[in-house]
Amino acid sequence: MQRNHALVIAVIIFIVAASIYLSLQQQPADKANDQPDGQHNGAKAREGMPMAAHAGVVGNYSTSDFDPSVYLTTWNFNDLPPKEREKYYKETPLPDGTLIREYWFSAQDKKIEVAPGVFYDAWVYNGQAPGPTVRATDGDTIRIYFKNDGSKPHTIHFHGLHPAGMDGSFPDQFVNPGENFTYEFKAEPAGLHLYHCHSTPLKDHIAHGLYGAYIVDPKGSRAPAHELVMVLNSFDTNFDEENEIYAANTKAFYYMNNPIKVKKGELVRIYAVNIVEFDQINSLHIHGNFFNEYRTGTMPEPNAYTDIIELGQGERSVLELRFNETGLFMFHAHQTEFTEKGWMGAFDVQDAELPGQIENLSSQEVEE
């Protein structure tokens, strides 16, 4: 009897020890799923972030040809070194104090990764979806040299004021594969706008990835802020006219694995554009905070102080907020289906005093 007792205790000790050992093994196994190069793959973010609590991506993004973290703060190709940037963007001052801003755009067919291991045959501007963010000051001249290197007729239709011939919407304005067109117009009105292909069938050309953000700063500009561009988009990966992927800036759950770093107390300005196809309404909700909403960014006073906005296709809003608490704060569509299919991310609010964090306080392009 004594011996049986000892045996039972020994077995219990073994089971407990084995489960502790296995649970410890689990963590390195999760980390092993991250890419070894440590680039944009969420390895760092995951250390402090239990992803299992929410549906997220399985595996990691295999390509870095489009980095949603870089895209957030990129306009007028300002992520490129000067020599490289000249190939796509040039600005020339005029005597009246405005600028001529010249852009070199092309359209291509391209496979892009919209979730880890999920590739979509997109149509893109300059190799990326969303296309490059165009940014000017009210009254500047925008000139875009467009070349269609894709397999379908495309255009660039800008929201904003422009002459009829620059609209890129009627069939005689379609730019056929191999052809060129130069768009030229004044940047106006001040606000947050967008551009997209207006070739037909329109839903196909938008759903395939031909769109981008177009920011017109008011003369005198807005207050300095940590500025972020979010194009809310979606992908119909099986071509049944329903989306399988939703995101802010293309890659499902990207900012869950790579939370957007902001500093406690700093002014954060989000340029949010909705271009989701096949669904009537999209939304953007931020946790633990409220923001001022400037619809279309055209008026100096906010329209609302809220924590959620709804946007139909083509609608956009400028949002301003400050985080007064550190930690992780989620943002996502309040259509739960969209959230579960990728349209979910997080802000990582850090103390402003942290060394090495100060240089990003204002990411607004210094041109004034």
Residues in contact with Cu ion by CB under 5 A are 154, 197, 199, 205, 210, 314
User: For residues 210 and 216, which CB has a smaller minimum distance to Cu ion in the complex?
Assistant: 210
Pairing of strands 226-235, 268-274: parallel
Q: How far apart are CA 137 and CA 2, in angstroms?
A: 87
User: For residues 154 and 251, which CB has a smaller minimum distance to Cu ion in the complex?
Assistant: 154
User: For residues 192 and 286, which CB has a smaller minimum distance to Cu ion in the complex?
Assistant: 192
213 touches 198 (CB < 8 A)? no
Of the candidates 209, 210, 201, 192, the residue with the CA atom closest to the CA atom of residue 156: 210
User: For residues 199 and 249, which CB has a smaller minimum distance to Cu ion in the complex?
Assistant: 199
> What's the closest the beta carbon of residue 169 comes to Cu ion, in angstroms?
9
> What's the closest the beta carbon of residue 341 comes to Cu ion, in angstroms?
24
Q: How far apart are CA 229 and CA 129, in angstroms?
A: 13
Of the candidates 292, 193, 311, 295, the residue with the CA atom closest to the CA atom of residue 248: 311
> What's the closest the beta carbon of residue 203 comes to Cu ion, in angstroms?
11
Q: In the block, which residue shows the tokens 């995951």?
A: 46
52, 145, 177 from 139: Cα distances, Å? 49, 19, 32
User: For residues 114 and 175, which CB has a smaller minimum distance to Cu ion in the complex?
Assistant: 175
DSSP assignment of 245-293 equals EEEESSSTTHHHHSPEEEETT--EEEEEEE--SS-SEEEEEETT--EEE
User: For residues 210 and 319, which CB has a smaller minimum distance to Cu ion in the complex?
Assistant: 210
Beta carbons within 10 angstroms of residue 256's beta carbon:
23
User: For residues 202 and 352, which CB has a smaller minimum distance to Cu ion in the complex?
Assistant: 202
- Give the H/E segment covering residue 8: helix 2-32
> What's the closest the beta carbon of residue 299 comes to Cu ion, in angstroms?
20
113 touches 148 (CB < 8 A)? no
Beta carbons within 10 angstroms of residue 366's beta carbon:
7
User: For residues 196 and 263, which CB has a smaller minimum distance to Cu ion in the complex?
Assistant: 196
> What's the closest the beta carbon of residue 282 comes to Cu ion, in angstroms?
14
> What's the closest the beta carbon of residue 204 comes to Cu ion, in angstroms?
8
User: For residues 69 and 126, which CB has a smaller minimum distance to Cu ion in the complex?
Assistant: 126
Of the candidates 259, 264, 286, 284, the residue with the CA atom closest to the CA atom of residue 338: 284
> What's the closest the beta carbon of residue 232 comes to Cu ion, in angstroms?
14
207 touches 236 (CB < 8 A)? yes
> What's the closest the beta carbon of residue 163 comes to Cu ion, in angstroms?
17
Length of the chain: 368
Q: Which amino acid is at 324?
A: N
Q: How far apart are CA 185 and CA 163, in angstroms?
A: 7
> What's the closest the beta carbon of residue 60 comes to Cu ion, in angstroms?
31
Pairing of strands 260-263, 344-350: parallel
